[in-house]
Amino acid sequence: MLKVIQHIFIIPLLISAILSLKVFRLRWPFQYKIFSVLLLFLLILECFNIIWKYYLHNAFGWHYSQATIWSYNISFAFQYLLYTLFYYHSLSHLKFRRAVLVTGILLCIFIILNQLFWQGLHQVNTYAHILADCCMIFFCFAFFEELKNSEIKNEKLKLLSGNMSIMKNPLVWISLGVFIYHLLNIPYLFGMNYMVKNKIPFAVNFHYIYMSFVCLMYICFIKSFLCPHPQQK
């Protein structure tokens, strides 16, 4: 049962990645193509990790650990570089775009340095994860701040023009999913180490809750690609 729950998020991830391919066929704005690449990359990464865990780690005569934390760590900087580029191209205000770009680049540099000199590749890089969570919350805040003022000031997104509903804008759903997951991931990271050492049953149940956060994020991504064609920036 635990094995099934551990990998249940693959289903909404797969659906969102498949739906995201429409952005190339229907010529959605560039930021959605970046996001589609991110989802496809995450799907490939998760499939590789599952295959490694249950087959590749001891295939071909070698005998490695089943743990896949090293693959997540290696891909971590690239994932958040794509997130940075996505929000950089999604935002309109120059001050927000510059802040996102600088923050994202510094985050990626820190991720790499953390792996090389501090926490390494074979344990959860909690420092980098918490910093990444904070950065993503900031990126979402920047987007929602623009959204709040879009009717008056925003000339590119035009979220409230005509009959266009805010909730039909893909960026809203993507940012909602990103915000919820990264906001809830912070207490998970802070509490998980303690629970694993002291309260194993509760840690297992807490992991179920964590997986629901992941599924919720991908469900929001699915909803985003069911929205009408967004307006070009």
Query: Model confidence over 195-210: pLDDT tens digits?
Result: 666 666 666 777 788 8
Does the pLDDT at position 89 exceed 90? yes
Confidence class for position 133, pLDDT limits 50, 70, 90: very high
Does residue 115 carry a pLDDT above 60? Answer: yes
Amino acid 5: pLDDT: 67
Distance CA 164, CA 122 (A): 47
| DSSP reduced 3-state for 144 | helix
Burial 65-81 (b: 16+ CB within 10 A, else e): eeebebebbebbbebbb
pLDDT confidence bin for 159, thresholds 50/70/90: very low
Report the pLDDT value the prediction gives residue 198, as an integer from 0 to 100. Answer: 67
As a whole number, mean pLDDT of residues 36-47 equals 97
Give the CA angle between residues 36, 29, 87 to the nearest 5°. Answer: 65
Q: What percent of the chain has pLDDT over 70?
A: 85
pTM assigned to the model: 0.90
Residue 109, classified by CB atoms within 10 Å of its CB into exposed (0-12), middle (13-18) or buried (19+), is exposed
According to the model, what pLDDT value does residue 35 have?
A: 98
pLDDT band at 125 (very low <50, low <70, confident <90, very high): very high
> In this model, does residue 130 exceed pLDDT 80?
yes
Q: What is the mean pLDDT of the chain?
A: 88
Q: CA-CA distance, 23 to 174, in Å (whole number)?
A: 14
Give the pLDDT band (50/70/90) at residue 153: low
Other Cβ atoms closer than 10 A to 135: 22
